Amino acid sequence: MSKLTDKISYLQGLAEGMKLNPEKDSHRLILEILDVLGEVGDAFEALAESHGELSDYVESIDEDLADLEADLYDDEDEELAEDEDGEDFESSIEYECPHCGTVIQLDPDDVDFDDDAKCPECGKDLFPELPEGAVEDPEEED
């Protein structure tokens, strides 16, 4: 930007050296154009300064975001490692036998819903087949 302002200052200096008469229409036009050029140069300098400040600010936000992402994903990676080791993660569910009401701990990965799973208490099927047209959840009938 300094090259632009330097060139504008040079042109303004030339105009002063030429002793342009502001009373003459052609001279007055040139002087006004040079004044506008000076204002444009100042506006460009201010814009460049603001752009630099904004770039610095965005860069600092980007660094902060990178730190947050690193912290977040490191925590998730640690949790996944714990889950894979079997620590702090239980995959079993509680299921109540529909016949005797006994609560049984089941691992969904180990249960084959196509086979007949038996209740250890009453020996009846844990997952009886429903007749056609029957509703699984009595609240769904409403």
Distance CA 1, CA 11 (A): 16
The pair phi, psi for residue 24, each rounded to 5°, is -80, 135
74/100 same-domain check: no
Asked if residue 65 belongs to a domain, the reply is: yes
The amino acid at residue 38 is G
Asked if residue 142 belongs to a domain, the reply is: no
pLDDT in tens for each of the 142 residues of the chain?
A: 578 888 998 998 998 898 888 888 888 889 999 999 999 999 999 999 999 999 999 999 999 999 999 888 876 666 666 555 554 455 778 888 888 888 888 877 777 766 777 888 888 887 777 677 666 555 555 4
Asked if residue 141 belongs to a domain, the reply is: no
76/98 same-domain check: no
The amino acid at residue 116 is D
Alpha carbon 38 to its chain centroid, in Å, reads 43
Asked if residue 24 belongs to a domain, the reply is: yes
CATH number for the domain that contains residue 104: 2.30.30
- With tokens 């769904």, the residue in question is 140
| Whole-number pLDDT of residue 140 | 52
